[in-house]
Amino acid sequence: MTARAAVVLAAGKGTRMKSDLPKVLHSVGGRAMLSWTQALADELGCDQTVVVVGPEASEVQDAAAELVGAKNVCIQHNQLGTADAVKAAAPALEGFTGDVIVLYADTPLIPASAAEQAFEALTDGAGVSVLGFYAREPGGYGRLIRNSAGDLDRIVEAKDASSDESAVDLCNSGVMAAAWPLMANLLEEVGDDNAKGEYYLTDLVGLARRRDLRAAVVTCEERDVLGVNSRAQLAEAEAAFQVRAREAAMSAGVSMAAPETVYFSWDTKLGRDVYVEPNVVFGPGVTVADKARIKAFSHLEGATVGSSADVGPFARLRPGAQLGDAVKIGNFVEVKNVTLGEGAKVNHLSYVGDGSIGADANIGAGVIFCNYDGFFKHQTLVGAGAFIGSNSALVAPVSVGDGAYIGSGSVITKDVEADALGVARAKQVERKGWARAFKDKMAKRKASEKKD
C-alpha cells in the first residue's frame, strides 16, 4: 500500500469562539477537536501526521507536539490561506513520496470511512480527490463544480462564485488528498488573485485539471463534516456526536428508555444488554460490562462497571471506581478510586474513596471512608464478606478484616481483624421514667409562668 500522511490545519485564530482556550482544544464528546483529527489520521493508517499551527498558539503547539511529536509540528507564520498552511507542512514531509490527506482540526466528526474514500480515489487513478457533501445551506462553503463526466472540474470559493455557481449545493468539506510530490508541486503554482486575497488550497483542483489529471469528488453526510467556528457550532457538533454515539450503542445491543437524555464520551464502552435509564452522563474513560444496569441520574467518569452490576439511581462513580460483577451501588453514593469485589454492596448515601471492598461485603447507609487528612490521601481496606454498620466512619489508613462486623455509628481508627466485631461509640445508658418526670416538671413550670 502507498504510504500515507496527514496534514492537519490548526493555524486559524478561532476568534469567533471568544475564548482564552484555542479553538481546536475545545472538546466534543470529552475529547479535544485536535485529538479527534489526529485519531482520524491514525485510523486512516497515516504513518505520519503533521500539524500546522499559528506562531503564537503555544498551547496548541504543546498539545500537538504531545500527539504527533515536536518534529511534526510546523508553524505557519502568516495566515495567508489554506494553501499557504499546507505549504508550511513541507519541511516535515521532506522526501515523503506517499499520499497526503489534508484535514481541518476544527472538523472533528469525519468518519474514517468517509475520509478513506478520498485516498481510494487516488488508487483509482485520480490525481486529486476532494470530500464533498450536499449542504442544506451552501452559504460560505466552496462549491464543487463538476464536468459532464461527473468528475471535479474546479472548486469555486463562495466569495468568488457566479450566481450559477452559488446555486450548486455540492460543497467542499475541506478534506483533500493527493500524492505529496504532486501536491507540493501544485502548491507552488497557487496565487492569491481572488476575492479574499488568500492562497486557496482549493485552487489545486483547477491546477491539476490543467495538467490533464483527473480530480475526483467523493461524498459524505453534512453532519459528518460539521465545522466549528463558534460556541453554537460547538454545541451542534456535540449534539451530532451524541446522536451518533447513542445510535452506535443501541446497534451494539444497549437499551435506553430515553436515549436523547443519555450523554456519552468519545471512549464510552457499553457491553451487550446493558440497560441505561434516563438522564445518565458518561464522562471519559467508562467501561460497562454486559447486562449491567445504570439507573437514572447517575454520573460516571473513569469507572469500570462489572457485568450484571446495578448502579444508581443518583450514583456518582469517579475515576478509579472499579466495580466487579454483580456489585450494587445505590442512591447518593460516591465512589472514587475503590475496587469492589464481586457482589459487594454500597446501597445508600455513602462516600467510599481510596481503598478496596472485598467480595460480598455490605457497606451500610451513610458510611464514610475518611480518606484525607488535609495533606495526604490514605487507604481503607474492607475484607470480603465484612459488614460495616450504618453511619460509621472508617478513618484511613485502616483495615477491616474478612467477615468482620462494625457496629453502627462507629468511628473506626484502628484495624479490626477478620471475623471480629469493632464498635467505637459511647455505651448506651437508660434512665427509667426520666422522660415522664421531665415532662411533668416542665409542664408545671410553664403553668406557673402563665399565672404571673
Q: Could you tell me the smallest distance in angstroms from the CB atom of residue 179 to ligand UD1?
A: 19
Query: Whose CA is closest to 328, among 357, 368, 371, 299?
Result: 357
Nearer to ligand UD1, 156 or 352 (CB): 156
Q: Does the N-terminal peptide bond of residue 397 adopt cis geometry, omega within 30 degrees of 0?
A: yes
Nearer to ligand UD1, 79 or 255 (CB): 79
Residues of this chain that interact with ligand UD1 (CB under 6 A) are 9-12, 52, 76, 79-82, 84-85, 104-106, 141-142, 155, 157, 171-174, 200-202, 227
Nearer to ligand UD1, 23 or 336 (CB): 23
Residue 216 phi/psi, 5° resolution?
-110, 150
Q: Could you tell me the smallest distance in angstroms from the CB atom of residue 299 to ligand UD1?
A: 33
Q: Could you tell me the smallest distance in angstroms from the CB atom of residue 188 to ligand UD1?
A: 17
Q: Could you tell me the smallest distance in angstroms from the CB atom of residue 40 to ligand UD1?
A: 14
Distance CA 292, CA 309 (A): 5
Active site residue 348: yes
Residue 270 amino acid letter: L
For residue 54, give Cα distances in angstroms to 6, 46, 92, 168, 364: 18, 23, 16, 33, 56
Distance CA 209, CA 232 (A): 38
Q: Could you tell me the smallest distance in angstroms from the CB atom of residue 173 to ligand UD1?
A: 6
Query: Whose CA is closest to 141, among 229, 35, 36?
Result: 229
Nearer to ligand UD1, 172 or 362 (CB): 172
Angle (CA) 191 192 197, round 5°:
175
Neighbours of 287 (CB within 10 A): 17
CB-neighbour burial class of residue 47 (10 A; exposed 0-12, middle 13-18, buried 19+): exposed
Q: Could you tell me the smallest distance in angstroms from the CB atom of residue 237 to ligand UD1?
A: 13
Q: Could you tell me the smallest distance in angstroms from the CB atom of residue 186 to ligand UD1?
A: 14
Q: 77, 299, 348, 378: which is the annotated catalytic residue?
A: 348
Nearer to ligand UD1, 80 or 411 (CB): 80
Query: Whose CA is closest to 378, among 425, 337, 321, 317?
Result: 337
Nearer to ligand UD1, 139 or 150 (CB): 139
What's the farthest any 2 CA atoms get from each other in the chain?
114
DSSP symbols for 75-90: E-SS---HHHHHHTTG
Nearer to ligand UD1, 171 or 338 (CB): 171
Q: In the β-sheet with 405-406, what is the strand arrangement from edge to edge?
A: 255-256, 275-276, 293-294, 310-311, 328-331, 345-348, 362-363, 387-388, 405-406, 421-422
Q: 317 near 303, Cβ under 8 Å? A: yes
**Catalytic machinery residues:** 348
